[in-house]
Structure 1
Amino acid sequence: MRISVKAPAKINLTLDVLSKRPDGYHEVEMVMTTVDLADRVDLTLLDSGEIALDCSASFVPDDMRNHAYKAATLLKERYQVRQGVRIYIDKQIPVAAGLAGGSSDAAATLRGLNKLWNLGLSLDELAELGAEIGSDVPFCVYGGTALARGRGEKITHLTSPAACWVILAKPPIGVSTADVYGNLRVQQIANHPPTEQMLRAIRNQDFALMCDSLGNVLEEVTLSLYPQVRQIKELMAASGADGVLMSGSGPTVFALVQKEGKVHRIYNALRGFVKDVYVARMLGGSETDVLA
């Protein structure tokens, strides 16, 4: 038996860091939503009991360093599953990009194996397991749009934001999330994102207010460490984007655009500067269905 699961990328509409926690993590408050740039995770039942992983991107690890492999191992051990699985990830989301590609693959693996192994777990139970793998995994289990608190695992579901185009550009660099957080001085953050204003914009499907409410406290850290990220952001704004923000710890920057005519202009401007440019739509709603 084989099933396929969609694993969509996420973007941060807001990302605020409130404090450093005793456990070493940071207390965050983030508004996140999914876009239709997605990996596909194929899961094939194995009677042998082994977990095997392969990926279309050769540099992606195929062991416990991979969140999808970790998700399968966690489920198998926690629920004493005798069967195994062969995992194949068709990678479309760029790696180490601030788009939660690895977390989304893990979430897709949890959802898919719940069906493949007939475990009968709820999404809430899967999200709780996901929190043991990574901070973004619980959000990715649900998909859609949400406010995430704690270290990212406390999820409040939101309605879909105003529909729009999302243009994503990733410079040819990797960014270490640990390095970015390590360089963040929480007490010195001058401008916290207007989270409540963003929630109102989403509730009212107010596109202009959503663009005005974008904010990410990690952005200044990453922009100071990687000038290419700043250049992409400035190019998007100069090309007519309605709203521009870095996602997560970077280095991917996204532009929100409501009029389709602007999409091609911004895409072409970016393609002259970086190779990895993607045009997507904001999904907004939940994308947790397991594909046949």
Structure 2
Amino acid sequence: MAFELTLPSFAKINWTLRILGRRPDGLHEIQTIFQTISLNDRLSFARLEDGRVEIYTDSLALPTGEANLVHRAASALQKRFGVRRGARIRIEKRIPIGGGLGGGSSNAAITLLALARLWELDVSGSDLIELGAELGADVPFFFLGGTALGYGTGRMVTPLPDVEASHLLIIVPSVKISTAEAYASLNAPALTNEETAHILSVSRKTEDLVERLQGVLRNDFEPTVFRSYPEVRRAHEALLESGAKLAFLSGSGSSVVGLFDNEEERQRAASMLLGAAVGRIELCSTLGRDQYRARLGECAALLASSNGEEFHWGVAKW
């Protein structure tokens, strides 16, 4: 059994995000279509025998104590299963912090997967998913990957046919948006009824994908975020002006995603945007469920089934 392990931790975007209303418990009911993308952090784990959890990172903006979601994930796993071992964890950060790309949630899910293996725990994917849901609303999605419908407060996920889009360009303006503040600014009404979920019918051709996305593409955070953060609005406008077929906010922002028909158009846009000083630019592609599992290697054995029929926790069948 190896005592060290290194894994990628992939980002996500939201193809669509609807806020249906505020629940009696104060949380918000949503419908979203999640998507893993190739942009990733790199997490390295070394097993310790004395129970300590140590976090190291190359990012000055990331805390290393209990405020770090990776630390909280490791501690929660220790507590839930009575683990006496610990870990030294290094986070090489590439996913922007506070950009709506799910970096913290992804890191937490990967930490649970990696430590379950390093600590030789007898746990199921369902155990880890349930624990992940306690850490954050987006965490369960990263036990699935690919394209998936999220609903409830976001913790409930079910797989959809994978989207294949190789020509994404993401602009990350130099502002961080608090998710809690973004929700508060919506002033959403109390939830009184359920709306029909928008299921994304996908095609493997980018031009067909654009047509299908135009029917469901909507992020309810966009009006308030664009109004409060002019830098984000300018990034959205710049993507469309540079030739993106679609441009949209991911999560509650600040990242804005552009979809291009081909690599030539994306490279031309990247060249234009580099001179526009609109923010950090990332070129990436979608990551399908099978690709996601393959990149996680043997740790993927604990992931939920990828056959689209059942996800081990919190999933309705469609």
TM range (shorter): over 0.9
Q: Deviation at 1:65?
A: 1.1
Paired residues for 1:191-270 under 5 Å: 196=198, 199-201=200-202, 206-212=208-214, 213-270=216-273
Please tell me whether the aligned partners of residues 127 and 142 of structure 1 are also in contact (alpha carbons under 8 angstroms).
no
Cα 1:224–1:275 shift into 2, 3 Å: closer
Instruction: Tell me the SS of whatever aligns to 2:140.
Output: helix
The AA in structure 1 aligned to 2:4 is R
Instruction: Tell me the SS of whatever aligns to 1:33.
Output: strand
Please tell me whether the aligned partners of residues 161 and 202 of structure 2 are also in contact (alpha carbons under 8 angstroms).
no
Could you tell me the TM-score, scaled by structure 2's length? 0.85
Q: Deviation at 1:163?
A: 2.7
Mark the runs of 5 or more structure 1 residues left unpaired by the alignment: none
Mark the runs of 5 or more structure 2 residues left unpaired by the alignment: 299-318
1:48 is aligned to 50
> Which protein is richer in strand relative to its size?
1
The AA in structure 2 aligned to 1:209 is E
Paired residues for 1:113-128 under 5 Å: 113-128=115-130
Q: Are 2:296 and 1:290 aligned?
A: yes
1:102 is aligned to 104
2:62 is aligned to 60
Q: Choose which of 77, 80, 85 in structure 1 pairs with 2:79.
A: 77
Please tell me whether the aligned partners of residues 48 and 85 of structure 2 are also in contact (alpha carbons under 8 angstroms).
yes
Residues in 1 aligned to 2:242 and 2:296: alpha-carbon distance in whole angstroms: 38
Residues in 1 aligned to 2:204 and 2:270: alpha-carbon distance in whole angstroms: 29
Q: Deviation at 1:258?
A: 2.6
Cα 1:204–1:175 shift into 2, 3 Å: same
The percent identity for this pair of structures is 36
1:276 is aligned to 280
Instruction: Tell me the SS of whatever aligns to 2:135.
Output: coil
Residues in 1 aligned to 2:231 and 2:197: alpha-carbon distance in whole angstroms: 27
**Deviations, residues 174-222 of structure 1 (Å, cap 9, x unaligned):** 111111111103349xxxx9952x5123699831224413210011110
Cα 1:194–1:33 shift into 2, 3 Å: farther
2:304 is aligned to none
Residues in 2 aligned to 1:183 and 1:130: alpha-carbon distance in whole angstroms: 27
Superposed CA RMSD in Å reads: 2.0
Greater than 4 Å deviation, 4+ residue runs? 202-205
Please tell me whether the aligned partners of residues 168 and 252 of structure 1 are also in contact (alpha carbons under 8 angstroms).
yes
Residues in 1 aligned to 2:173 and 2:279: alpha-carbon distance in whole angstroms: 8
Please tell me whether the aligned partners of residues 31 and 195 of structure 1 are also in contact (alpha carbons under 8 angstroms).
no
Residues in 1 aligned to 2:239 and 2:51: alpha-carbon distance in whole angstroms: 49
Residues in 1 aligned to 2:130 and 2:46: alpha-carbon distance in whole angstroms: 24
